[in-house]
Amino acid sequence: MYNTDIPTRAELPTNAQLLRSTAIAAVAAAGILVTIVLPAEYAIDPTGIGRMLKLTQMGEIKTQLAAEAEADRIRDSQTAPVQPAPTTPAPDQRSRLLTTLAGLLVSPAQAGERIVIAQAEKTDETVITLEPTKGVEYKLTMVKGAKVTFDWSVKDGVVNYDMHGTPGPGAKEKSYKTGRAVAGDTGVLTAEFDGGHGWFWRNRGTKPVTIILRTKGAYAEIKRMI
């Protein structure tokens, strides 16, 4: 068997060459961070290059939609009535508890069968009325790798939107796509992780609008979040 020849000491890079390569890589990374990443993700554009490339506008949309969604969640959590803690599990809670316990005891083959069932193809058409200045969020319950074909359109106006996914309660959202003053969108939503995946819409107009959302693919359910 032939093994690759070991390089000689003369063929190896010197410490100075390694330091120079490291410095060049660090400068390049810093340049990408300042000119592309910060404008596109956080609307921070110290050089002005991001606005020339229209990346800063993208970051502004993301930060605005994220702030609006967080404000809506805080408001809804503050206005939600406090329910007394039940002394015994409710029927639906007992059902979820039994399902969870059963999931710990089933065989791998049965677990695989549950995933197939969860990804069984569904088709829904959801009609949403959105008043001026109001926001609404709908999500699909999906497993990692599942795909859903979607098509949504706005009647009598345009909306701002953020298509995103959330792994679970309290977890950081991942934004897939955003838009401002958009009359509709179509495409394929691919879940990058188990959890809820969907859209947040905001009506910035002065009149109510109607959003018609059509979904088809592998998801367990579609539900309104806020």
pLDDT for the residue numbered 4: 59
Amino acid of residue 56: T
**Per the structure, how many domains does the chain have?**
2
Q: Specify whether 70 is located in the same domain as 134.
A: no
Q: Specify whether 133 is located in the same domain as 189.
A: yes
CA distance 115 to 92: 21
Residue with tokens 């909306």: 159
Q: What is the pLDDT along the chain (226 residues), one digit of tens a residue?
A: 555 566 666 666 788 888 888 889 888 888 887 788 777 777 788 888 877 877 777 777 777 777 777 777 777 666 545 555 544 444 444 555 445 444 444 444 343 344 334 457 899 999 999 999 999 999 999 999 999 999 999 998 999 999 999 987 777 889 999 999 999 999 999 999 999 999 999 999 999 999 999 999 999 999 998 8
Q: What is the pTM of this model?
A: 0.52
From the list 162, 159, 161, the residue with the least C-alpha distance to 132 is: 159
Per this entry, what is the length of the chain?
226
> What beta strand segments (E) does 24-182 contain?
121-130, 135-142, 147-155, 159-166, 174-182
Q: Specify whether 47 is located in the same domain as 135.
A: no
Q: Specify whether 197 is located in the same domain as 134.
A: yes
pLDDT for the residue numbered 27: 84
54: in domain = yes
45: in domain = yes
Q: Specify whether 67 is located in the same domain as 135.
A: no
CA distance 199 to 136: 8
Look up the domain containing 166 and give its range: 121-224
Q: Specify whether 71 is located in the same domain as 153.
A: no
